[in-house]
Structure 1
Amino acid sequence: MRSAVLFTLCAGMFLVQLDVTVVNVVLPTLGTQLHADLAGLQWVVDGYSVVLAALLLTGGALGDVLGHRRVVLAGLTVFGAASAACGLAQSAGWLVGARVAQGIGAALVLPGTLAVLTGTFRGRRERARALGIWAGTSALALPAGPLLGGALVTAVGWRPVFWLNVPIVAAAAVATLRLVPPDVRKPGRIDVPGAVSAAVALGAGVYAVIGGTIPVALLAVAAAVAFVVVERRSAQPMLPPALLRSPQTTGANVVSAAMNFVGLGSILVLTLYLQGVLRATPMNAAAGLLPLFVPLAVLGPVSGRLTARFGPLPPMLAGLVLGALGMLNLLRLAPSGGYAEVLPTLLGLGLGMGLLTAAVVTAAVDGAPAGRAGIAGGMNNAARQAGGALGVAVFGAVTGEPDAPVRFVHGLHLLGSLAAGLWLAGVVLAVVCTRRRGSRNPSVAAG
């Protein structure tokens, strides 16, 4: 029974992750057919990930109050309807709006999968192994996304990229009804002011980076300050103070945000580099990204086993160093270069993120106080999605349009230095904040 539940949870996570990357290789085609500029294309990606990041904790809180299975089913329904709307889009604005609705659905689905998983697998070792399988399955969506998108846009166009979600949603809903038992609801209420201020802060922050407008940047700062004030005064805050006082959980969340900031930002600009500078077709660009995505998918379960045996710190350190080396390779790129020059970056990111993902989730959950594993996992997911949304905005803003190859490659050089420095700083943070293997963890003892 537990294996069947794990399979169902992995399927839900696969669906959410698939739509993070499936649009990347079709962005140039979308730009041409829907007359969208780079900012519009960034919002096709970020319209989904910003809302997902901003509402993840709210989705988790709704699951606690209403029951996670019920909220997951509602999320699947919203996600499926929004996917159909994406496939019918007649303009960039329509598509971005439908992507926002997809993000709402995904924010209801994702926390429930992790909450049920952490409640089903309670021991430290079995939880680490389950998280490794969960991370590997979700990572499998990353290579599947570009390959599927490239094949569909080459054969029949970009719209079926979104319509394909509808039967997957139906299958996931049936499996959830049959395999996931109803969970016990907890008394409480939703922190609406916290959810609204967090969503405004993140959305306005990303918009300010993409659009470069000072008033929107000030709105983002004001909303962030309001979020801090609201959380300090709330009787049931979205971010429980006990979690914020955990160095391991906080450090793991910062490393997770940095991981996706670099990872998802790099996927965007490297896709544009392959198609806009090297003139690869969508299918060839998708195939060219496999050295990044395949290690990421394959190493998820491996990282889970390593984490179960040695603790989260060794795979975190290895992943951060490999990723940093890969990003430094961007300094070698030239406008007249070829695929061989970018290959080490793809490999470094794939190996690094593959080792990191299960380890940082485990570190965040294991560092939480007793009874807080579910919300700790939700915080980690929110940190990763927020980091990814900001990464897409910042990386796209630094490189600009790929039709100016010299400027674009110069932007890649800057990003290589920035990203490598960020991940190497993560090495220091991981060493300082992460418990060594064998230290007692209250959340594990309680499980």
Structure 2
Amino acid sequence: MFLVQLDVTVVNVALPHIGADLHTDLAGLQWVVDSYTIVLAACLLAAGVVGDRLGHRTIAVAGLALFGASSLLCGLAPGIGWLVAARAVQGLAAASLLPSTLAIVTRAFPERAEQARALGIWAGVSALALPTGPVLGGLLVTLAGWRAVFLINLPVVVAAVVLTLRRVSRDEPDRERRLDPLGVATAALALTALTSCAIALGRLGRLGLSAWTAAAALAAVVAAAALAWWERRAPEPMFPPSLLSRTGFAGANAVAAAMNFVGIGMVFVVTLYLQGVRHHTALSAGAMLLPLFLPLALCAPFTGRLVARAGPRPPMIAGLALGAAGAAWLLLVSPGSPYGVLVPALLGLGLGMGLLTASVVAAALRAGPPSRPGLSSGVNNTARQAGGALGVAVLGAVVQDPSEPLRFTAGLHWAGALSALLWLAAIVVTLRAVPGAEEAGAAG
């Protein structure tokens, strides 16, 4: 899990060196990032369903092997086209790993209390990748060059494969369950178009609507409609429409999407503020974000224990309230504000995400079909990935260009207000959809 999340952030530090060595422009460098992100988002749901059919340990080991092979190809890339293609394969491998890690945790710890504690550790490990990526990437690039950013994955992959084969019990394939190829393909197309549209909006929001953005948005709508039509008629649908009638499942995943919309979107716009408005270096800005990243990583295991005792609803409500307060605090930030003014906003968002991540995942998995943990984890990972991509796009468009400090800060105020309102609305969804400890106990 750490490895997958790390490769989202670690490559950013290496981009200038990649561009100089492979003689590519900004568009080529953007595709180094986007090819991984788009394929990861597009294949998460399908990977969870395939894991339910073929066995999650099998998919995890295959995903690790593919991740290692694609990392080697990235490290040996002679040109930008090779690197972009290898990063796309790496995204496919990452997509197969994310739902499998969650499904393995739920099978290894079937009892709710111990499962919640395990999910807290899972979320904490994931969160550690956010602050580690830029630091580790900078160190590797400085000491060994940009190729080391990818080659460092190889020994980790080997160790993970050995430990998975030795320590994770094998889950038998469900040979009676048939795959839904048309549903898988349509879902992948819809998610590819949605993520591409979000990325395009984030980069072109200042320049107006482009033909590419409009085409991606139209493709996403058409593919989503086709998926909904087919899944109602498929003999064994990949995504049973009845899942949406599960209030707890739909509500938990809606909150998960809102969580990443604000959390990932705010990391993006605050980084722009620190570097574009306050003119801090990348390393200095990364260090200044520690009040957000560290609570997120440190709170997650504690949240797992809290969910084990009280259920997911109390920490979800507390996290959303703290995060909404942190987002609202951004209304006090000005172009010349000292760093201390920003710290309460970062702490509120970090504590909020720390309380939310493990509890939202636990709520979604509890409300999903017990026999299909891969589907439940795939939907949850997809909701979070899509929410984060849209958050970067929408909030990035709201704040505008950091080279105009007054306009950017006014946009930051709007982004903070929008984020606070969204998380307050998520509290209402949580109260209505996520059962409390007593209700969950009665239902069990």
> Normalised by the shorter chain, which TM-score bucket?
0.7 to 0.9
Cα deviation for residue 15 of structure 1 reads: 1.3
- Correspondence list, 1:292-303, <5 A: 292-303=292-303
- TM normalised by structure 1 equals 0.87
Q: Which residue of 2 aligns with 1:10?
A: none
Q: Which residue of 1 aligns with 2:127?
A: 139
Q: Secondary structure at the match of 1:416?
A: helix
* RMSD after superposition: 2.7
1-side partners of 2:99 and 2:184: how far apart?
15
1-side partners of 2:418 and 2:15: how far apart?
25
Q: Which residue of 1 aligns with 2:192?
A: 203
Q: Which residue of 1 aligns with 2:92?
A: 104
Q: Describe the superposition over 1:76-119 as per-residue Cα deviations: whole angstroms up to 9, x where unpaired.
A: 12222333344455776655443322210011112212112111
| Structure 1 residues 128 and 98, CA gap change in structure 2 (3 angstroms) | same
User: Which one-letter code corresponds to 1:182 in the other structure?
Assistant: R
Q: CA contact under 8 A between 1:50 and 1:385: conserved in structure 2?
A: no
User: Which one-letter code corresponds to 2:365 in the other structure?
Assistant: V
User: Which one-letter code corresponds to 2:427 in the other structure?
Assistant: V
Q: Which residue of 2 aligns with 1:5?
A: none
| Structure 1 residues 96 and 279, CA gap change in structure 2 (3 angstroms) | farther
1-side partners of 2:304 and 2:84: how far apart?
35
1:129 aligns with 2:117: yes
User: Which one-letter code corresponds to 2:2 in the other structure?
Assistant: F
Q: CA contact under 8 A between 2:40 and 2:94: conserved in structure 1?
A: yes
1-side partners of 2:190 and 2:97: how far apart?
22
1:314 aligns with 2:314: yes
Q: Which residue of 1 aligns with 2:172?
A: 184
1:19 aligns with 2:4: no
My pick for the range that moved more, 26-35 or 47-56, is 26-35
Cα deviation for residue 425 of structure 1 reads: 0.9
1:385 aligns with 2:385: yes
Percent identity over paired residues: 55
Q: Which residue of 2 aligns with 1:224?
A: 224
Q: CA contact under 8 A between 1:265 and 1:388: conserved in structure 2?
A: yes
Q: Secondary structure at the match of 2:43?
A: helix
1-side partners of 2:341 and 2:76: how far apart?
38
Q: Describe the superposition over 1:380-415 as per-residue Cα deviations: whole angstroms up to 9, x where unpaired.
A: 122111212222333334445544444443432332
1:167 aligns with 2:155: yes
Q: Which residue of 2 aligns with 1:330?
A: 330
- TM normalised by structure 2 equals 0.88
1:74 aligns with 2:62: yes
| Structure 1 residues 206 and 116, CA gap change in structure 2 (3 angstroms) | closer
User: Which one-letter code corresponds to 1:189 in the other structure?
Assistant: R
Q: Which residue of 2 aligns with 1:239?
A: 239
- What is the aligned residue count? 431
Q: Which residue of 2 aligns with 1:283?
A: 283
| Structure 1 residues 160 and 266, CA gap change in structure 2 (3 angstroms) | farther
User: Which one-letter code corresponds to 2:275 in the other structure?
Assistant: Q
Unaligned runs of 5+ in 1: 1-12
| Structure 1 residues 205 and 375, CA gap change in structure 2 (3 angstroms) | closer
Q: CA contact under 8 A between 1:49 and 1:388: conserved in structure 2?
A: no
User: Which one-letter code corresponds to 1:365 in the other structure?
Assistant: L
Cα deviation for residue 20 of structure 1 reads: 2.7
Q: Which residue of 2 aligns with 1:8?
A: none
Q: CA contact under 8 A between 2:269 and 2:395: conserved in structure 1?
A: yes
User: Which one-letter code corresponds to 2:190 in the other structure?
Assistant: A
Q: CA contact under 8 A between 2:326 and 2:347: conserved in structure 1?
A: yes
Q: Which residue of 2 aligns with 1:262?
A: 262
Cα deviation for residue 326 of structure 1 reads: 1.4
